[in-house]
Amino acid sequence: LLFAFFLAYLLHPVAFFIHKKAHIPWRLAATIIYVFLILILIGLLTWGGISLIEPLQSLTTFLQKLVNDLPNFLADLAKEPLMIGTFSIDFSHLQLTDLLTQLQGVLSPLLSNLGTLLGNIASGAASTITWTFFTILIAYFIDVESEGIRSNLIKLRVPGYQEDITRMGKHLGRVWNAYLRGQLSVFAITIVVYAILLTVMGVRYSLALAFLAGLARFVPYVGPFVAWTTYGLVALFQGTTMFNLLPLPYALMIVGIALVTDVIMDNFVSPRIMSDSLNVHPAGVLVMVLVMANLVGFIGVLLSAPLLASF
């Protein structure tokens, strides 16, 4: 529900812009925005699902083939000594049958656990998708029922205190507008920094990866980890590397540089920008992140800065 209100608050100005410029009814403008959002979400889910299914199927097939080929591999290993340079290793005296039994005993549970893991991933993804569409639906109704008036997003009427509520609403509106401006500033700075950094380091798709780095700023902890993994995989498999490094050291270097960059952004750039936008102390923002993470969890971390300013 918190994310639904947040999404409604973000998309309200966009729908209002379309409503005024295109001279169409408010409900139609809001519907266009949310239908467009759902179409983008469906496209991303379809593209991501297709991209993910093939590697997982390949991994499962590879492990199954590995288990099936083990007996032949060990039998061939026992027929003749293994030559490594001038050294010879003879496996004929080893109990390869016992070794085969042990290896199959280790790999078979891994295959069954892999199937369980894939099932859990699929069910978790389905649950997340369901809740995401539910959030979008609630945000749509909040925006539609506001009739284009921003103050109608949240209607709170207490007899005798309406003037105080109106005044508080104006102050809180300034706080959350400042938060959005600060967050967008961090987003833009991150894109510029990573576009320059990845281009200089010779990483392919640097602009797309820089955009991914900007999006990762909206999702604390999880977002940067996903971004680091993506940088590493692109650097590992792109073929050409800077300084003629081997792919693995090059990928580790890129991930290390990204990690240091994000540490600098998290501890110096982001707190300073958010504190300037919200008029709160940077140390207060950092402490509030820790407090809200323990009290509320992920949503608390995401909204800790504007909540501190609101309090």
Tokens encoding 40? 């983008």
Instruction: Give the pLDDT confidence score for residue 118 in this predicted structure.
Output: 67
Rounded Cα distance between 292 and 113, Å, is: 35
Instruction: Give the pLDDT confidence score for residue 221 in this predicted structure.
Output: 67
Instruction: Give the pLDDT confidence score for residue 303 in this predicted structure.
Output: 78
Instruction: Give the pLDDT confidence score for residue 52 in this predicted structure.
Output: 62
Q: What is the pTM of this model?
A: 0.54
Instruction: Give the pLDDT confidence score for residue 180 in this predicted structure.
Output: 78
Q: Which long-range contacts (CB under 8 A, 24 or more apart) does 60-67 make?
A: 60/111, 60/114, 60/115, 60/118, 63/107, 63/110, 63/111, 63/114, 64/111, 66/107, 67/104, 67/107, 67/108, 67/111
DSSP-derived pairing of the beta strands 87-89 and 82-84: antiparallel
Going from the first residue of the chain to its last (311 residues), give the mean pLDDT of each consecutive group of 10, the final group possibly shorter. 83 87 89 91 74 64 70 67 65 63 68 68 76 91 83 76 84 80 86 92 87 81 83 84 81 92 85 71 80 80 80 86
Instruction: Give the pLDDT confidence score for residue 259 in this predicted structure.
Output: 92
Tokens encoding 261? 């960059």
Q: What is the DSSP string of the chain?
A: -HHHHHHHHHHHHHHHHHHHHHT--HHHHHHHHHHHHHHHHHHHHHHHHHHHHHHHHHHHHHHHHHHHHHHHHHHHHHHSPEEETTEEE--TTS-HHHHHHHHHHHHHHHHHHHHHHHHHHHHHHHHHHHHHHHHHHHHHHHHHHTTT-GGGSS----TT-HHHHHHHHHHHHHHHHHHHHHHHHHHHHHHHHHHHHHHHTT-TTHHHHHHHHHHHTTSTTHHHHHHHHHHHHHHHHSS--GGG--HHHHHHHHHHHHHHHHHHIIIIIHHHHHHHHHT--HHHHHHHHHHHHHHT-HHHHHTHHHHHHH-
Q: Which residues pair with 89 in a beta bridge?
A: 82
